[in-house]
Structure 1
Amino acid sequence: MASFETLQLSPEILKSIQEMGFESTTAIQAQAIPIALTGQDLIGQAQTGTGKTVAFSIPVVEAIDPRDQKLEALILTPTRELCIQVAEEIARVGAVKGVKVLAVYGGQDIQRQIRALRNKPNVIVSTPGRLMDHMNRKTVRLQDIKMVVLDEADEMLDMGFVEDIETILSACPAERQTLLFSATMKMGVQRIAKKFMRDFTVITVKQSEVTVPTIEQVYYEVSENHKLDALTRLLDIQNPELAIVFGRTKRRVDELTNALKTRGYLADGLHGDLSQRQRDSVMAKFREGELEVLVATDVAARGIDISGVTHVYNFDIPQDIDSYVHRIGRTGRAGKSGIAATFVTAREVPHLHQIERITKRKIQRLPLPTLAEAKLSKQRIAMEQLLDACQQDSLNGFKGLAEELLEQQDSLLLVSAAIKLLIKGTNEIPIKLTAEQPIRIKKPAYQSGNRRPNKPNGGYSQQHTRRGRTSHR
């Protein structure tokens, strides 16, 4: 893994990458981008889900000058779904630079595409068959193409596009740069490479072995601005001993950490901007159970090996499969079981299905718990807290007060009031944040400046302190 800052990218690209939330490169990105930036032809053998779209999107955008208002880059994909996905990714990479991208695929009204082509896109992402239609109509001309990318080349050949691909490549300028990405190097792919590519370099990135048999993997489809509520509702109900929450960026980690703290959770953040001393302090508290939730970026969490982590929450879905496998592997250590939950927006569901295909594991979709279920869980925890407190030896000093109260009120009423105090509600207030989307947090029931109520001692270890602060969310 390497930082994007080490790749000598333009300020516009670096800003786009930062806004996209990518903290470090994947293996294919670290190897392919420097070579592609030199203008050399390249073959990248890598599976879907390794981050290869960004690996070719960055060189494509770097090679384009939007002021020329010419079609300078062409990306061919086998399916309309991948066509749309790649176009969206290139648009995000080129957003700051002002690069115009158009997806062209079968099944969409061709007249609409013709009208869009009049806006002179800099990049076209297309399926081969539909691009051939436009070439025959002369609504797409390839004389100014500087770069061609064949994405999922083996799949395009398997689908019978070999003649279309040869026709398209023959119509492009001979001095163009060609990048080819394929999961396999079948004979058809090799023939295309030998015929249409010059002095190419081959990069091979193997998918990491996926061994997560003891981890229960689930996901929740939730909109971006409801993720925090979803997370805290799960924390309340699942009541994990130790949990790691993964965020996409350092800023995301800071804001999520602050939001959780404001809601009363014992949380702290871990990311690359922390000094080694700060990092060691956070990890020490997490190991000792002084924290119940660790919020971290992928880079910062590398090498974390702590037993007792029962839950991992992917607040933001990772960009590549390796990161996903690494994240969920922080739980289920030493043969123990663990739960890995991922929050995805509707647009991210196809990416999650790619993770399923490559890991060969079904990720179960679950409905978010209802507010009623969360309330019942809080009641259960409060009851457990009271029952556990009954086992303590330090209650003698309170028995006189209890007898006095029992003389004034019914015992059932007193216990009900005690439970109510432990699970009393909170007032929701919006706080403006600078992350990808606003995160709504709740103001604790106790007033700022006051100390939080003491948690019960006795049979409770520090990593069970959640029950002691349930009433202050």
Structure 2
Amino acid sequence: MANFSELNLSEPVLKSLSSMGFESATDIQSQAIPVALSGQDVIGQAQTGTGKTVAFGIPIVETVAREDTNIQAVILTPTRELCIQVAEEISKVGGFKGIRTLAIYGGQDIGRQIRSLRNHPQVIVATPGRLMDHMNRRTVKLDHIRIAVLDEADEMLDMGFVEDIETILAACPSERQTMLFSATMKPGVKSLARKFMRDFVLVSVKATEVTVPTIEQDYYEVPEPQKLDVLTRLLDIQNPELAIVFGRTKRRVDELSNALQTRGYMADGLHGDLSQKQRDTVMGKFREGGLEVLVATDVAARGLDVSGVTHVYNFDIPQDIDSYVHRIGRTGRAGKSGIASTFVTPREIDHLHQIERMTKHKINRRPLPTFTEAKVSKQRIAMEQLLDACEDENLSGFKSLAEEVLEGHDSLTVVSAAIKLLTKGTNEVPIKLTAEQPIRIRSPKNRERGGYRGDRHREGYRHPRGGHVRGRSRHQG
């Protein structure tokens, strides 16, 4: 991997990359950026998670002129979520250069987008359908476009956007630079490239270089009724910073996210039946650390790109190889390490071995985590939190109470009681599911006396694992 300082980038861009925490370029970045900066058309073949947004974002920021108030670059994405993520990333890359970026996607009030366009963004990131709406309204003009990018081109074609894409590209100046990024080179992608690109350079990163080195893959053989217990024990033992749990159906996602909330985890679900406002709210909380666990279907998570996801859990084994690769690719992003765990029932073992053969990668079997291991891990986390609290300089108001407690009890007993309170557990009772076998959730003791669950969902309550919970979730009305 090359350092960004070796790629002949401007000081403002290098400053932006440094503030984003980037040092070395990924394979797709080190290969694609020099070609794109030369002005040539580029086809980048790479899976998600390889840093391709920065690969085309840097040439865009280096090419567009800050003093020119026209739209100079357009990036097409297949989904709203990816549209927002790409726009945020381009804004960061162009921050110190003063480049304005705007996301345009369906589901958001078009009037708000029209008002935002009056701020003269130089770069727009858009879903094809909404961009066509703006073109028909004449609120977006593409006659000053210098660079056009198709991100996840294969997915856009699979979703039926080919006519919109052709109309949009035809509206751009013929002398523009075109970049196309795709995980696969299907016939439709090749046809699009031949029609709208000139003397392009193909930059390819093999899938084996993407998924294998940075992601630890393992599986747990577990009967269906025990899956939730195994998941929560893993969450307690591994203590992920951010985790995504994949469920097979929308109903599964709702029931699982509800069960995790009831057990006290900061969790929420993401699937296609949610309104755009609900999806934006969930993703906003996840990106900002207001959630520790995102439960999602494959469709909802398509194009999802959130930095800092340390663990992926396949609560239900995916039905096809592509879905498996896509799911585990949500962690181990841009060269960072990650852990992907799959729950497999005994009758699904053969399917798991098929995934191993197709990906040419061994998925390691792990023993089921025990209740004792989870309990010890909780106690260790509680102890660390207690020690962190000891470093707080603002404890003077509590010392008189501490002295009063210590008059009747020794310090060892008091500290033990504090750790016990921080790791307070609850009983398990079954909840009936309609889609799959029962998931078991924990029901609090003494709920009417202000029990554990009520405290966790109280306004402004700080979860023991960090972050705040604001009000009640949509699952609880």
Q: Which residue of 1 aligns with 2:269?
A: 269
Which amino acid counterpart does residue 321 of structure 1 have in structure 2?
A: I
Please show how residues 381-392 of structure 1 align to structure 2 within 5 Å: 381-392=381-392
Report deviation, 1:423.
1.4
Whole-Å separation in 2 of the counterparts to 1:444 and 1:336:
38
- Write out per-residue CA displacement over residues 53-109 of structure 1, whole angstroms, 9 at most, x where no aligned residue: xxxxxxxxxxxxxxxxxxxxxxxxxxxxxxxxxxxxxxxxxxxxxxxxxxxxxxxxx
Indicate how the Cα distance of structure 1 residues 301 and 260 shifts in structure 2: closer, same or farther if over 3 A, else same: same
Which amino acid counterpart does residue 377 of structure 1 have in structure 2?
A: S
Whole-Å separation in 2 of the counterparts to 1:313 and 1:461:
21
Q: Output the aligned Cα RMSD.
A: 2.1
Q: Which residue of 2 aligns with 1:434?
A: 434
Instruction: Kindly tell me the number of residue pairs found equivalent between the two proteins.
Output: 256
Which amino acid counterpart does residue 398 of structure 2 have in structure 1?
A: F
Q: Which residue of 1 aligns with 2:295?
A: 295
Report deviation, 1:462.
2.3
Q: Which residue of 2 aligns with 1:447?
A: 447
Q: Which residue of 2 aligns with 1:418?
A: 418
- Write out per-residue CA displacement over residues 283-316 of structure 1, whole angstroms, 9 at most, x where no aligned residue: 0000000000000000000011011000000000
Which amino acid counterpart does residue 462 of structure 1 have in structure 2?
A: G
Alignment pair present for 1:209 and 2:207: yes
Indicate how the Cα distance of structure 1 residues 426 and 460 shifts in structure 2: closer, same or farther if over 3 A, else same: closer
Alignment pair present for 1:462 and 2:464: no
Whole-Å separation in 2 of the counterparts to 1:369 and 1:247:
20
What is the TM-score normalised by the length of structure 2?
A: 0.52
Instruction: Please list every run of 5 or more consecutive structure 1 residues that lacks an aligned counterpart in the other structure.
Output: 1-207, 466-473
- Write out per-residue CA displacement over residues 246-291 of structure 1, whole angstroms, 9 at most, x where no aligned residue: 0000000000011001100000000010111111110000000000
Q: Which residue of 2 aligns with 1:359?
A: 359
| Contact in 2 for aligned 1:389/1:456 (Cα 8 Å) | no
Report deviation, 1:393.
2.4
Alignment pair present for 1:259 and 2:259: yes
| Contact in 1 for aligned 2:214/2:338 (Cα 8 Å) | yes
| Contact in 2 for aligned 1:220/1:365 (Cα 8 Å) | yes
Whole-Å separation in 2 of the counterparts to 1:395 and 1:327:
45
| Contact in 2 for aligned 1:264/1:444 (Cα 8 Å) | no
| Contact in 1 for aligned 2:455/2:461 (Cα 8 Å) | no
Whole-Å separation in 1 of the counterparts to 2:336 and 2:435:
34
Report deviation, 1:349.
0.6
Alignment pair present for 1:230 and 2:204: no
Which amino acid counterpart does residue 451 of structure 1 have in structure 2?
A: D
| Contact in 2 for aligned 1:430/1:440 (Cα 8 Å) | yes
| Contact in 2 for aligned 1:255/1:435 (Cα 8 Å) | no
Report deviation, 1:230.
0.6
- Write out per-residue CA displacement over residues 322-379 of structure 1, whole angstroms, 9 at most, x where no aligned residue: 0000000000112110000000001111111111111111000000111111111111
Whole-Å separation in 2 of the counterparts to 1:369 and 1:455:
29
SS of equivalent residue, structure 2 residue 436: coil
Whole-Å separation in 1 of the counterparts to 2:360 and 2:370:
30
Please show how residues 9-408 of structure 1 align to structure 2 within 5 Å: 209-210=207-208, 211-212=210-211, 213-408=213-408
- Write out per-residue CA displacement over residues 154-207 of structure 1, whole angstroms, 9 at most, x where no aligned residue: xxxxxxxxxxxxxxxxxxxxxxxxxxxxxxxxxxxxxxxxxxxxxxxxxxxxxx
| Identity rate, percent | 76
Whole-Å separation in 2 of the counterparts to 1:460 and 1:243:
13
Instruction: Please list every run of 5 or more consecutive structure 2 residues that lacks an aligned counterpart in the other structure.
Output: 1-205, 470-477
Which amino acid counterpart does residue 467 of structure 2 have in structure 1?
A: Q
